[in-house]
Chain A
Amino acid sequence: MGFGDYFISALFLQAGYNSALVAIGAGLLGLSAGSAGAFIFLRKRALVSDAISHATLPGVGLAFIIMVAFGSDGRWLPGLILGSAISSAIGLLMVEWITRKTRLTEDAAIGAVLSVFFGFGIVLLTVIQTMSSGRQAGLENFLLGSTAGMLISEATTIAVAGAMAAGFVFLLRRPMTLVAFDPEYAATTGVNVRNIDLAMMGLALIVTVIGLKIVGLILIVALLIIPPVAARFWTNQVGRMIGIAAVIGGLSGYVGAVLSAAHAALPTGPIIVLVAFGFFMISALFSPLRGGLASALRHQRFQRRVHRRQGLLSLARREPIYDGLTIRILRRAGMIRADGVATARGRIAAEKAAHDEARWAMARRMLPDDSAIERYDGLTPIERMMTPDQIAEIDRMIQSAQTTQGAKA
């Protein structure tokens, strides 16, 4: 069976019970990572989660050494997860403590904790490698993740924990949203900001430790942050953003695990991250809301509308037009002839534009507090912003103003 065939069959869970379970586990891990990561991204604490993940390594090493010392298999996953959770919790609390008790900023605290813990972890790994000569510990797989030879019990643990973490995110979504948007206000409404922040980072910690086996500690931060960043391109509503981030994270985990399982030499973590990056690129370029292409198109359309409007107002004032783009747009719309003189159609449109501007000027004096005045952008037709009654009233005012002026003259 070739790589492609295997990939297709694995994608539809036809490549055997074990790999199906691993794929589902990775999918649920990505789901929880994407949804928890959404809040970490909104709270602007992506780097803290990087410190958390790097701080797991000494815990992994120490847990292994302790388990071997007690004569059991050092590779027992729940034991390693517990060890990594404890050491990364210590790392998290140290970042918190340094930021609160010293004048150091959070990024400095993160840099210090991250590198010291990671360095200590690498030393431990080296010690373990010499200690258990002959017995391959395989702990270095925790750096970049590997699903090769994963036990069914391990995959189940990851799947269950991932689903539970996603459930917690759902339960805490309102206080976490409030704290991410406006912590001071949140505090006055009775939300314990410090506890919510800790819960948020606790979720990142859970995702990190259950993701150690599949994604690895170096890249788990990418699975936390890329899905929400990609999701942000698609929506302006926080609830939807969390949902989309969860889906992108879940798909990345699932597809990435399947891809890496299809080829034993492919490390799982980097593949999952690359798949997530693919989703990011698609979102950044093609999202109709905030994507690059749509923004560029919208901007171009806006520019054309501005030129058209300015051109028409110039025509109404009988001013010559010099701007090349304005001339081209008016020409194409049949508003002016090749020699720059307005056509009949152009004259009507220009008069209407000038009249609307006069209406707006009058409206600003008559209804200074009307919300239509605030929404005025010089482009949207007045008929769409005000009721016919309002417009008729404005026209009457303009008329009477003109008669008074005429009388004065």
Chain B
Amino acid sequence: MSSAKLVAESGKILDVASKDAPLTVRGLTVSYGNKPAVFSVDASIPAGSMTAIIGPNGAGKSTFLKGALGVVPRLSGEVRIFGKLFEDARDRVAYVPQRASVDWDFPARVIDVVLMGLYGSVGLFRLWRARHREQAMDCLKRVGMADFADRQIGQLSGGQQQRVFLARALAQNAEFYLLDEPFAGVDAATERAIVSVLKELKSEGRTVVCVHHDLSTVAEYFDRVLLINVRRIAEGPVETTFTAENLQETYGGRLAATHIDELHLA
């Protein structure tokens, strides 16, 4: 996106070029108590892109996602999903929370969790049919977890849990996927499996946004970055925005200069 930085007028999204973009955020502020976790952040995610949200711990990356999706209340700001309010575009969006956010001793099998992704399409009252089960199994196959369908979720490794969460989001068959730290604490095999699924989604024209921690894989996995440290530092294509200067500004003293050198940035 090369559009100039725009100023938001109240109740109006000004960026005409991105009117129907998967995600347009203007002046988003979310606070816990009276301390802002995300302060007046603007962002615009173009369709078909794969964006990494990057920033130090406690910089508000997850909160940005949750604020955009209305999981946590917004203090101020405007959010449009495909040019609409989230409530009106909900079935085009799938969210993958951090796997540590739930109790994995919950009485459910892997297949049950994936079926949760179909609640929206099945309705709250109708019963499951073989067709839904097949759909859920297809999603498990895509993340390489079909053999685990009948396992109790508490018996899974961290990486497997993460893939089950991804399968649940796949079951929603959305156009826009938002993932909160999908690679946190997973093994190499899981990371490969998840990345290949995400790239598949992108090749189908879907849009992907990930909260991401590993700076060394940003260029390999993503084509855009959104750098956040409570405020928005920078946003744009990896080649032009993922620079040593921007990273230094995002991380401050917390990122050693040698570390940045190792990234072989443009």
Contacts and interface: CB of A to CB of B under 8 A. Distances in A.
Contact of A237 (B109, B120, B189): B109
A232 B106 CA distance: 10
Contacts of A373: 189
B116 interface: yes
Interface stretch (B5-13, B17-25, B90-98, B205-213): B90-98
B120 A190 contact: yes
B62 to A, nearest CB: 10
Q: Is the interface of A mostly helix, strand, loop or mixed?
A: helix
Interface stretch (A105-113, A134-142, A171-179, A392-400): A171-179
A189 interface: yes
A175 B124 contact: yes
Contacts of B102: 181-182
A371 B144 contact: yes
Interface residues of A, number: 31
B90 A237 contact: no
A188 B107 contact: no
B36 interface: no
Given A171-B125, A238-B107, A241-B107, A185 B193 contact: no
B71 A184 contact: yes
B198 interface: no
Contacts of B192: 369
B160 interface: yes
B2 interface: no
Nearest to B111: A237
A191 to B, nearest CB: 8
Contact of A184 (B101, B112, B148, B168): B101
A274 interface: no
A218 to B, nearest CB: 29
A277 to B, nearest CB: 21
Interface in B70-100: 70-71, 87, 90, 93-95, 97
A236 B93 contact: no
Contacts of A187: 69-71
Interface string A370-400: 0111110000000000000000000000000
Interface in B99-131: 101-103, 106-109, 112-113, 116, 119-120, 124-125
Nearest to B196: A369
A182 B90 contact: no
A103 to B, nearest CB: 8
Contacts of B160: 374
A178 B116 contact: yes
Contacts of B193: 369
Nearest to B189: A369
B50 to A, nearest CB: 20
A171 B126 CA distance: 10
Contacts of A241: 107
A368 interface: yes
B248 interface: no
Name the residue in A182, A185, A237 with the highest tally of chain B Cβ atoms < 10 Å from its Cβ.
Answer: A185
A126 to B, nearest CB: 42
A239 B214 CA distance: 39
B97 A185 contact: yes
Nearest to B193: A369
Interface string A187-221: 11110000000000000000000000000000000
A180 interface: yes
B145 interface: yes
Contacts of B97: 182, 184-185
Contacts of A238: 106-108, 112
B152 A236 contact: yes
B66 interface: yes
B107 A236 contact: yes
A44 B106 CA distance: 11
Nearest to B123: A174
B157 A185 contact: no
Contacts of A375: 147
B69 A188 contact: yes
18 contacts: A44-B103, A174-B119, A174-B124, A182-B101, A184-B95, A184-B97, A185-B95, A187-B69, A188-B70, A189-B119, A232-B107, A236-B109, A236-B152, A237-B107, A237-B108, A238-B106, A238-B107, A375-B147
**Which 8 A-B pairs give the minimum distances between C-beta atoms?**
A188-B95, A236-B152, A371-B147, A182-B102, A238-B107, A187-B71, A184-B71, A174-B124
Given A188-B71, A238-B106, A369-B189, 14 more contacts: A42-B106, A174-B119, A181-B102, A184-B101, A185-B95, A185-B116, A188-B69, A189-B120, A190-B87, A236-B108, A238-B108, A369-B144, A371-B145, A371-B146
